[in-house]
Structure 1
Amino acid sequence: MTVLGVPGARLYYEVHGDGRTMLMIPGANGVTEGFRRAAEHLAAHYTVVLYDRRGFSRSQLDGPQDYSRRLQTDADDARRLIEHVGDVPAVVFGASSGGVVALDLLTRHPEVVHTLVPFEPAAVLQLPDGQQWVAFFHEVYDLYREAGIEPAMRRFRQHAFPDADRQVMARAPKNEANASYWFEHELRQYPKVDLDLDTLASRAERIMLAAGREARGYPSREVNVVLGSKLGLDVIELPGGHVGYLAYPAEFAHELLDALTQGACGPKNH
């Protein structure tokens, strides 16, 4: 088992393939497994680094945690992994909460990022009705405390994702410890992050906003639509919805590779 010691944690990670480094930052489940099948296709072109974010599964905490700075800590963990693997700068793909981490990584540590792909980042405060979504996530947290994980997860999925995503999510392996950690330390915190749009705009040539074709009208996809308008960027569409990399791993990987090859990041061409 490959582990990188970082302040307050030991990060489990895997390295697959050859070429420029591509770090894949997982979302709410916090672990490598959701990306594994897509990574099999990406590894023909990149050195793909998969990892469990700190506090999830094999990335154990082993020191004090400053949860008031958890997002910054997540971004610093990603920086340390990229530098440890040794090929800097890297392509960074982050999904959902991992997309929020990826945006913070580019903001704080631009030297390690070649191309950033935030896939449906959960920064819903960017939306016109963002405060309502933040309030909804607090309601989901309260339901978790009152009735447990499953009722809260059902309500979360029913309101925030299309049916195709809900079916995939319902079939995914369950890990109560990971779910509890997410409820306590992420569900209410990451959606209300205040992105540094001025800094991101100054680095927009490195950003490739991506979203699922089947997720139109749902919050995480619409975050990138709003970011696109604010940063002057197009949004590329990839197969499936919010978890298209899990539902259609080969197609998702191939279209992502095509977009990266064509240089789909940077200002709009129209």
Structure 2
Amino acid sequence: MTTKTLNQVSVPGATLHYEVTGSGPVLLLISGGATDAAAFDGIVPQLAEQYTVVTYDPRGNSRSPYAGEPADERVDQAAEDGLAILDLVTPYSPAYVFGSSSGAITGMELLVRHPDRVRLLVAHEPPAVELLPDATSSREFFFQVYETYRRDGRVAADRLFLGGIGMDEADELPPLTELPPEFREVMERMDANSDVFFEHKLLPFTTYRPDVAALAELEDKIVPAVGSESSKVLPAEPILALSERLGWSVVAFPGGHAGYTTDPFEFATLLLRVLAGKVAR
């Protein structure tokens, strides 16, 4: 069994919890939304056979507390958080990066701001709706989720949000009481992040405007990715629109928006092939 080490690093306004597993070139995995490092537990063991896999809890989530009161997220700050971790684990060499959902947005900003620190970015369904030719309805949807949270609370906002990104009730897990204790603990921990996500992260990330010109210049360092079961749903649409605009090929990973949890072996297998350059781009 590959040993996992748990670590912390102080950054402006927060303390980040990060985990390191395996050996070899560094692969940073960036989770999105209200999730934390545990979102990737299903794929880390397989990836760690070839890479030093680094995961972390984004600021404000789970074991990465704010230094003070929560504040609205800034994507540039999120990118600098990722850089702070890379500076510790691989200060002299660029890293591979995989980001999903808002984690992919963080990865895109990290690549644009520090292209010398990223060897390759796999951007899996970043919900940056400003990339769409007409972002009006998608922009309104996320604002409606935010307003629902403020008016009716996180349960109602969760229902609206998950339905809008294609993760409806059919994809829901069994009741927490029916899950193994260790898995229940993780789910409860991430569920507790929902307030911070809806209040301080949802709109700042979804209204983020990527630097398209800079990304076009860095096309050899980015792999656009979607879920094979979610390619026609909102979170996949922005990266598809960007790829069509720039003439990029898109890699379809197994499963939906969270395919790394529902199809971990197949997902990790394809990710290893992408990182090794064995998938046509």
TM-score > 0.5 by shorter chain: yes
Q: How does 1:20-31 map to 2 (within 5 A)?
A: 20-31=25-36
Pairwise CA RMSD: 2.1
Q: Does 1:139 align with 2:154?
A: no
The Cα offsets for residues 95-145 of structure 1, whole Å up to 9 and x where unpaired, read as 000000000001111111000011001101212342211111111111111
SS in 2 for 1:138: helix
1:83 aligned partner: 87
User: How much has 1:188 moved relative to structure 2?
Assistant: 1.3
Question: In structure 1, which of residues 115, 129, 149 is the aligned counterpart of residue 120 of structure 2?
Answer: 115
SS in 2 for 1:134: helix
Question: In structure 2, which of residues 12, 21, 36 is the aligned counterpart of residue 16 of structure 1?
Answer: 21
Question: Among the aligned pairs, what percent are the same residue?
Answer: 37
2:131 aligned partner: 126
Residues 48 and 3 of structure 1, relative CA distance in 2, 3 Å threshold: same
Contact 1:7–1:63 (Cα < 8 Å) also in 2? no
Distance in 1 (CA, whole Å) between partners of 2:268 and 2:169 is 18
Q: 253-262 or 204-213: which moved more? A: 253-262
Runs of at least 5 residues in structure 2 that lack an aligned partner in the other structure: 1-5, 177-183
Contact 2:60–2:70 (Cα < 8 Å) also in 1? no
Q: How does 1:154-193 map to 2 (within 5 A)?
A: 154-163=159-168, 166-167=171-172, 173-174=187-188, 175-193=190-208
User: How much has 1:196 moved relative to structure 2?
Assistant: 0.3
2:254 aligned partner: 239
Contact 2:132–2:242 (Cα < 8 Å) also in 1? no
User: How much has 1:165 moved relative to structure 2?
Assistant: 7.6
Contact 1:37–1:249 (Cα < 8 Å) also in 2? yes
TM-score normalised to structure 1 length:
0.91
1:201 aligned partner: 216
Runs of at least 5 residues in structure 1 that lack an aligned partner in the other structure: none
| Count of aligned pairs | 265
Residues 12 and 89 of structure 1, relative CA distance in 2, 3 Å threshold: same
Distance in 2 (CA, whole Å) between partners of 1:241 and 1:182 is 21
SS in 2 for 1:215: coil
